[in-house]
Structure 1
Amino acid sequence: MSKYDSYFLMKAEEVSDYVQEKLSYFDADARLECKEIGDGNLNYVFRVKDLANGKTIIVKQAGEALRISAEMHVSTDRGRIEAKILGIQDSYAPGLVPKVYLYDGTMCAMVMEDMIGHTMMRTGLLKHEIYPKFADHVTTFMVHSLLRTTDIVLGHKEKKELVKSFINPDLCEISEDLVYSEPFIDYNNRNNVFPPNADFVKKELYEDQALHLEAAKLKFEFMNNAQSLIHGDLHTGSVFINKEHTYIFDPEFAFFGPMGYDIGNVIANMFFAWCNGDATIEDEGEKEEFCGWCLRTISDIVDLFIEKYNKVFDEYVTETMAKVPGFKEWYLEGILSDTAGVAGLESIRRTVGMANVIDITTIPDEEKRARAEKIVITLAKNYIMNRRSFRSGADYLNAIKEAIGTFESR
């Protein structure tokens, strides 16, 4: 009988013992050190290290409630979903996701490769680090993991079986509330609005009925379009990176949904990095370099995705009717519209919603922070209201330039 035969939340000292019992990764007599390294809302993440040789491994355990709100309970089955999807993603985009060594359904714990030598991307961006290969890597990951799990490529029965196994109602409900609903109608009184912008938010978000209608349309697209196996939470906090390599992880929000959800999330979070750099970098040359790279990356993500989409579609398409002339272009138009819409939703919810993004909340100058938020909200509304007009990287850059120009710093 093992203490790990029934679920409980492990502490660091128990995690080392757990790893030794469950795996033969370390020597039996290894002297291990374990530290909690995660700061997310849903999980407990530990690094176990062999003090003799530096060998490391990561243990991630799913909690039963959100750290930001003990009243928000979520199914620990998301750990199974995450472990399974990492294996699928690794088969489609090898080398861009960490290896999974074990998933324990009783303890709701996953043991996985330590992404040593990499930094959480958001942490690096807050230090205004530049990652020149990110756009190439993330678009390779998205095109292969998304397009190749659609009905265009997968057999329809195979896909429907996958849809069943990745039904993720608890975490989908979080997205449905926090991304698609509460930022526009604060019925749960959980939004975090920066006080200097309260009147602006009231007018531009809470009172804009046309915006609410478009958000509602996008919400029902999210709930009903089982297009592909999406990551579901693909932001710069879900990326470990260095100058040469990228890991994408933390796909516990995964389910079959619209492809544009992942792409739009990445775009929105790259603009948050621009906002921080624009507001906090004092040296003009450094600011131009970092902020310019952020904007080029947004443009490159869109254009590289389109380029790779066309190649992967042609290489892997199996569905007879998807080979009809004009279908590939029509399908892409839908993806790009969803991408722009979600970029807008993510931008708004991380600015005024329950989970504000640190890129903006750490801007120390209140006037500069208020300006950054107004730019984000104005840009986001353009993305949502005119989402069918965003068809290239240049379209995004033009919209960004227009939004920035509306609030030129004095």
Structure 2
Amino acid sequence: MSRFSSYFLMNTDDVIDYVKEKLTIFREDAELTCKEIGDGNLNYVFRVVDEKHGDSVIIKQAGHTARISDEFKLSTDRIRIESNVLLLQDKLSPGLVPTVLLFDDVMSSCAMEDLSDYTIMRTALLNHETFPAFADHITTFMVNNLLLTSDVVMEHKAKKELVKQYINTELCEITEDLVYTEPFYDNNNRNELTPGNEEWIKSTIYDDEDLKLETAKLKFSFMNNAQALLHGDLHTGSIFIKNDRTKVIDPEFAFYGPMGYDVGNVIANLFFAWANGNANENKNFTEWIEKTIEEVVDQFKEKFSYKWDQEVTELTAKQAGFKEWYLDEVLADTAAVTGLELTRRIIGLAKVKDISSILDSNKRIEAERICLTAAIRFMKQRSQFTEGKDFVVAFKEAEKMVKGLKVM
């Protein structure tokens, strides 16, 4: 009887035995080594390499608690969700996600294509690398996966079956707490404020009752608007990249929610990269980020409109003016989520290296205040952001406000 017939959390030696039993990709004389390479907040990721022939594979396993904190008790079903979503995304956006080789519901694990010749995008951006094809790739990914899983295109009963299949209660609860709630209140012990910025955050975020009203509205929209199948955690740490290729990974947070949640996460994390480049006075890099943010928004709109006209099946969605109204709502959600993500990564539990790696405390505080000043505007005035340049202008004006410069 296989020792992998009942669940246990594997170590590197176990994983070598596991791939020998479960996969056929390695040759008989393979010399396998294994290393745990996961740096995310939830799961364990192993890379298995045949040192003799160079073949390799990634094994990902879910534990019963999150790596970030044992406070988060989680179902290992998230690996089923991730595996199935990657298979679906590969059909909708071929070549933009890794190939899944195996899903094992007993061991709560999956095997997938090794992308070690790529770089995690956040790491590359911390090195101030640029990727001219990124905006094109990520907008194709988002438009295909969001619009084509919505009621605009799908037969409604089939779409509702997918909603049931991707109910993701525990990971949605993490998002509801860490993104929509805790960063705006000072009555929990999971927020982590940068020393020297506590009073500014209290007066600017915690004491803003109007802002908290807007975040309450946004939280209930997130919980109730089953618009499309989201990636659910689409930041630069969930993207592998090289000069001419992009691969989106880690959709374990996938569920049916508002489209703008994915788009806003991409934009916010590009702004984090901008803040890092700005703190390091790399003007060429920050200008590329600004251009890319504009391209992400504007190409998303253009491709969304084109794909809508090509794929729409719902009769009422063909009504004149409806597409424009629908897209405006997506863009408003996009702006709001940009603000939410900027806020939670600075105030909340899960930080980003773009900000935390700024060693000069004064520059880090300044970067945080720029992000948070822009974030408030994105959330409160979300309906005003209809083009890429609107996002960039708001961020540049936030920079001037924080630095005490005149805003034109």
Fold conserved (TM > 0.5)? yes
- 1:284 is matched with none
Task: State the shift of 1:409 in Å.
Answer: 8.0
Q: Say if 2:31 and 2:52, in contact at 8 Å, map to a contact too.
A: yes
Structure 1 residue 408 corresponds to structure 2 residue 406: no
2:362 to 354, 358, 367: 367
Task: State the shift of 1:327 in Å.
Answer: 0.7
The C-alpha deviation readout for 1:193-242, integer Å capped at 9, x for no partner, is: 11211011001111100000000000000000000000000000000000
SS at match of 2:229: strand
Deviates more, 1:305-314 or 1:67-76: 67-76
- 1:225 is matched with 225
Distance 1:71 1:247 in 2: 31
Distance 1:131 1:297 in 2: 9
Instruction: Give the counterpart letter for 2:147 in structure 1.
Output: L
- 1:300 is matched with 295
SS at match of 2:183: coil
Gaps of 5+ in 2: none
SS at match of 1:176: helix
- 2:383 is matched with 388
SS at match of 1:405: helix
What percentage of aligned pairs have identical amino acids? 56
Instruction: Give the counterpart letter for 1:362 in structure 2.
Output: S
- 1:351 is matched with 346
Task: State the shift of 1:116 in Å.
Answer: 3.1
SS at match of 1:66: coil
Distance 1:408 1:209 in 2: 25
Q: Say if 2:30 and 2:53, in contact at 8 Å, map to a contact too.
A: no
Q: Counterparts of 1:178-197 in structure 2 under 5 Å?
A: 178-197=178-197
Distance 1:155 1:72 in 2: 36
SS at match of 1:71: coil
Q: Say if 2:78 and 2:252, in contact at 8 Å, map to a contact too.
A: yes
Q: Counterparts of 1:105-254 in structure 2 under 5 Å?
A: 105-254=105-254
Instruction: Give the counterpart letter for 2:257 in structure 1.
Output: G
- 2:28 is matched with 28
- 2:305 is matched with 310
SS at match of 1:5: coil
Instruction: Give the counterpart letter for 1:307 in structure 2.
Output: E
Task: State the shift of 1:188 in Å.
Answer: 2.6
Task: State the shift of 1:29 in Å.
Answer: 3.0
Structure 1 residue 264 corresponds to structure 2 residue 280: no
Q: Say if 2:230 and 2:254, in contact at 8 Å, map to a contact too.
A: yes
Q: Counterparts of 1:83-122 in structure 2 under 5 Å?
A: 83-122=83-122
Distance 2:295 2:199 in 1: 35
The C-alpha deviation readout for 1:135-163, integer Å capped at 9, x for no partner, is: 11000000000000000000001000000
1:331 to 300, 306, 326: 326
Distance 1:126 1:72 in 2: 29
Question: What TM-score results when the alignment is normalised by the length of structure 2?
Answer: 0.98
Distance 1:88 1:17 in 2: 29
Distance 1:347 1:276 in 2: 13
Deviates more, 1:208-217 or 1:49-58: 49-58
Gaps of 5+ in 1: 282-286
Task: State the shift of 1:339 in Å.
Answer: 0.2
Distance 1:278 1:13 in 2: 44
- 1:74 is matched with 74
Q: Say if 1:85 and 1:251, in contact at 8 Å, map to a contact too.
A: yes
Q: Say if 1:232 and 1:262, in contact at 8 Å, map to a contact too.
A: yes
Instruction: Give the counterpart letter for 1:233 in structure 2.
Output: D
